[in-house]
């Protein structure tokens, strides 16, 4: 089995393989070919891949006879000539927004596997690119907030007087939010956090932060279905807005991470609420790419409103390319190796497997995923 690792398009710093996963694939009996310069953005030289046993070459060379194509983002279908018929294309394929590409993978006979549709089940935890990348994004959101904030995070008692600790409020306590809480605590801030799922209350407390929850209207019991939130009732949204208004005015830094699968991000902070923050405060909107939790967010830009900097955080994992590539590459390896058939020397993906059903988009020349065919 030949595995091709593609160089990403401009703007993407990450790489879908690292020398460690190249060696591990070789251990399964596969040969890995890496496109020249694929690791550059993640500080991995071609020579590092070669030292791990990979061949390095042009796209045409690495694709020739490949049965598996690894990428971070969905590659341009027109650039995939030369791969085996029915080759697997594995990466973050963004199926809902890139449907022309998905159709083209199908027409080319390729089997497209969207890693971001990995189900949230225990068996798939080590294959979950959303978790691995969100974790780093949650950390970087706090570091970026600290860099943009004109004051210090920790309390400092100095001969020239005391510096007060920053107050950080995290809205949305999934993978990114939990890491944001932990990072802000490590920097010495006073941290509070909120979510709609009741299970997060204990998680917030276990990190030493203060939970701020709507009490008079029921939220989502426990973890919520599959760990996902749904859109909340109008009554809940009103109660949440009141709670946020009274709490937010006392905060210096707000990090928002709230997402609802398949829907625009819920609006959690209005412009009027931003105006109540002290000038110099910083809001980081990690949901910027999904429309934003904060009124006035512009994805990929910093906007100043009422003296408050609103950071429209877009794909922060890219700014930590060495670590995010390593975790992403291991997610891909963990997935493929879990299905690897040693005798046949290739992964076998059973039609009735929960993971396969969730992530397989195309097969046998057709789009086969229910989430796409039902749309
Ligand atoms: P996510 O990115 O879908 O959403 C981020 C957070 O925003 C969630 O906690 C959600 O409840 C919250 N949110 C949504 N609407 C909100 C609102 N109106 N106000 C406040 N908060 C709101 O979530 P995620 O980071 O992917 O993780 C969610 C859960 O799933 C976590 O408990 C996580 O541990 C679990 N998970 C499990 C696996 C697995 O078992 N393989 C993998 C990933 C995540």
User: Is 103 among the residues known to form the active site?
Assistant: no
User: Is 132 among the residues known to form the active site?
Assistant: no
Split at pLDDT 50, 70, 90, the class of 219 is confident
Distance in Å, CA 6 to ligand 1 centroid = 31
- Tell me phi and psi for residue 289, to 5 degrees: -70, -20
**How high is the pLDDT of residue 87?**
98
282-300 per-position pLDDT tens digit: 999 999 999 999 999 999 9
- Among 46, 48, 103, 120, the one annotated catalytic: 120
Q: How far apart are CA 313 and CA 211, in angstroms?
A: 24
41-75 per-position pLDDT tens digit: 999 999 999 999 999 999 999 999 999 999 999 99
Question: Angle CA(32)–CA(34)–CA(40) in degrees, nearest 5?
Answer: 140
**How high is the pLDDT of residue 74?**
98
Residues having CB within 6 Å of any atom of ligand 1:
120-122, 124-125, 128, 130-131, 134, 171-177, 194-197, 223, 227-229, 232, 257-260, 266, 268
Average pLDDT, integer, range 1-6: 98
Distance in Å, CA 176 to ligand 1 centroid = 8
Average pLDDT, integer, range 239-256: 95
Point out the ligand 1 atom lying closest to the alpha carbon of residue 240: 19
For residue 75, which of 131, 24, 5, 23 has the smallest C-alpha distance?
5
Distance in Å, CA 227 to ligand 1 centroid = 6
Average pLDDT, integer, range 362-374: 95
Nearest CA to ligand 1 atom 35: 227
- CB atoms near residue 101 (< 10 Å): 21
Distance in Å, CA 174 to ligand 1 centroid = 4
Distance in Å, CA 56 to ligand 1 centroid = 39
CB proximity list for 158: less than 8 A, separation 6 or greater: none
For residue 284, which of 294, 272, 271 has the smallest C-alpha distance?
294
Split at pLDDT 50, 70, 90, the class of 230 is confident
**How high is the pLDDT of residue 375?**
63
Mutate to test the pocket of ligand 1, among 172, 237, 294 (most ligand atoms within 8 A of CB): 172
User: Is 346 among the residues known to form the active site?
Assistant: no
Beta-carbon-side half-sphere exposure of residue 361 (alpha carbons within 13 Å): 32
First to last CA, the chain: 35
Distance in Å, CA 166 to ligand 1 centroid = 25
- Among 98, 111, 131, 192, the one annotated catalytic: 131
CB proximity list for 147: less than 8 A, separation 6 or greater: none
Residue 221 has pLDDT above 90, yes or no: no
Instruction: With beta carbons less than 8 A apart as the criterion, state whether 2 and 67 touch.
Output: yes
- The mean pLDDT of the chain is 96
User: Is 48 among the residues known to form the active site?
Assistant: no
What percent of the chain has a predicted confidence (pLDDT) above 90?
93
For residue 226, which of 78, 354, 47 has the smallest C-alpha distance?
354
- Among 46, 103, 228, 323, the one annotated catalytic: 228
Mode of pairing for the β-strands spanning 308-312 and 156-158: unpaired
User: Is 125 among the residues known to form the active site?
Assistant: yes
Average pLDDT, integer, range 89-113: 97
Nearest CA to ligand 1 atom 30: 227
**How high is the pLDDT of residue 107?**
97
121-131 per-position pLDDT tens digit: 999 999 999 99
Q: How far apart are CA 360 and CA 218, in angstroms?
A: 36
Beta bridge partners of 346: 341
The owner of tokens 């209005």 is: 270
Q: How far apart are CA 337 and CA 104, in angstroms?
A: 27
Q: How far apart are CA 373 and CA 172, in angstroms?
A: 31
Residue 222 has pLDDT above 90, yes or no: no
Beta-carbon-side half-sphere exposure of residue 139 (alpha carbons within 13 Å): 13
């Amino acid at each position: 089995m030949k595995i091709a690792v593609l160089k990403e398009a401009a703007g993407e710093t990450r790489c879908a393989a690292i020398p460690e996963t190249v060696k591990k694939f070789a251990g399964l009996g596969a040969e890995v070919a890496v496109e020249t310069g694929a690791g550059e953005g993640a500080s991995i030289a071609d020579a590092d891949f070669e030292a791990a046993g990979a061949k390095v070459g042009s796209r045409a060379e690495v694709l020739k006879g490949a049965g598996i194509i690894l990428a971070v983002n969905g590659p341009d279908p027109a650039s995939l000539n030369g791969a085996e018929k029915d080759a697997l294309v594995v990466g973050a394929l963004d199926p809902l927004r890139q449907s022309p590409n998905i159709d083209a993978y199908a027409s080319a006979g390729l089997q497209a596997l969207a890693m971001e549709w990995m189900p949230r089940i225990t068996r798939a935890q080590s294959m979950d690119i959303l978790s691995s990348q969100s974790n780093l994004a949650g950390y970087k959101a706090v570091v970026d907030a600290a860099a943009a904030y004109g004051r210090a995070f920790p309390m400092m008692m100095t001969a020239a007087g005391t510096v007060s600790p920053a107050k950080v409020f995290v809205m949305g306590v999934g993978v990114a939010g939990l890491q944001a809480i932990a990072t802000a605590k490590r920097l010495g801030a006073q941290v509070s956090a909120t979510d709609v799922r009741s299970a997060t209350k204990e998680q917030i407390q276990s990190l030493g932060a203060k939970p701020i929850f709507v009490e008079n209207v029921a939220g989502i019991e426990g973890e919520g279905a599959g760990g996902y939130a749904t859109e909340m009732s109008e009554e809940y949204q009103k109660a949440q807005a009141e709670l946020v208004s009274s709490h937010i005015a006392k905060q210096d830094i707000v990090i928002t991470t709230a997402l609802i699968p398949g829907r625009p991000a819920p609006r959690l902070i209005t412009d009027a609420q931003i105006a109540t923050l002290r000038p110099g405060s910083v809001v980081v909107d990690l949901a910027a790419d999904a429309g934003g939790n904060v009124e006035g967010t512009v994805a990929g830009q910093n906007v100043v409103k009422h003296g408050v900097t609103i950071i429209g955080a877009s794909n922060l994992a890219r700014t930590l390319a060495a670590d995010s590539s390593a975790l992403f590459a291991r997610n891909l390896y963990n997935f493929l190796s879990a299905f690897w058939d040693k005798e046949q020397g290739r992964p076998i993906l059973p039609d009735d497997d929960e993971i396969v059903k969730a992530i397989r988009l195309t097969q046998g020349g057709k789009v086969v995923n229910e989430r796409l065919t039902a749309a």
